[in-house]
Amino acid sequence: MANSSSGDSVVDRVVRLLTAIPADDRAVPVADLAERAQLPLTTAQRLVRQLASHGLLEAIPGGTVRPGIRLWELANRTAPTLALRQAAMPFMDDVHAVLHQNVNLAVLDGWEALFVERLSRRGSVPNRAQVAGRMPVHVSSAGLALMAFQPKDLQAHYLGHLAAMSGSVDQVRTPVESGHPHLADIPASADHVRLLLAEAAQQGFAQLAGVVDPETWGIAVPVLDRKRRAVASLGVVVPLQEMRLQALMPALQTAARGIARSLGYAPGNH
């Protein structure tokens, strides 16, 4: 595989280009894509033409580009999250019907929550969770619910990562490839996140109010395997003034246990 003068292979450059595409499916100028992928414009233009010829990207008149149908087809054909989505959808539908609120399903990928499904309601509060979009663990209830139910050594590695980014346990900023660049500017304290994780582990759920959007509140519960590790999180996003745990928790906990059973895990206690 031919390398560039920087030592990157063609595959490296293609991956950087594809992962630079925003998660919200909007078309972006090739120049912006090149900048996000840290590629020369001429290289990005050449790769876009080649990928578009195979249907992996769609080149739009005017110099913009977005994911192609072929890319969607390949991604969904053998997606590792396919079984999870199929197991979760009936229970997500139930939660959506009962609570009439935004519902999302996420998995942990590195130090981010990767959203694999969501259900929204017309006229509901903004929901930044996009399917195939990401948020740093510390800015989302989904991420905190996932990390709170991971092995202690993984949690320690994550907290060490937060601290190392700034050289201390004080303010750190986490990069995000979610299509919402402003989330990277939300500061986190490793000590504060440690407390949030401990609270979520003790209570069996995670909640954050007004972090991503000042008018919203997110709450998420883990979907647990037999070792009580979170394989996914199920969450809702509601208006800040509707912070009624007693009204939300029964539906979320019941659905999370149902998803776990459908995946073949013994029922857990959240």
The residue among 175 and 253 whose pLDDT is bigger is 253
Task: Quote the pTM value.
Answer: 0.75
154 pLDDT more than 90: yes
Q: What is the mean pLDDT of residues 93-98?
A: 93
Local confidence band at 116 (pLDDT 50, 70, 90 cut-offs) = very high
Residue range(s) in the chain whose domain bears CATH number 1.10.10.10: 10-75
C-alpha pair distances (Å), 246 with each of 216, 219, 242, 251: 17, 12, 11, 10
CATH of domain 10-75: 1.10.10.10
| Location of each CATH 3.30.450.40 domain in the chain | 78-168+179-263
78-168+179-263: CATH class = alpha beta
pLDDT at 3 over 60: no
CB atoms inside a 10 Å sphere around CB 243: 13
Q: Which of 187, 185, 191, 195 is nearest to 171 (CA)?
A: 187
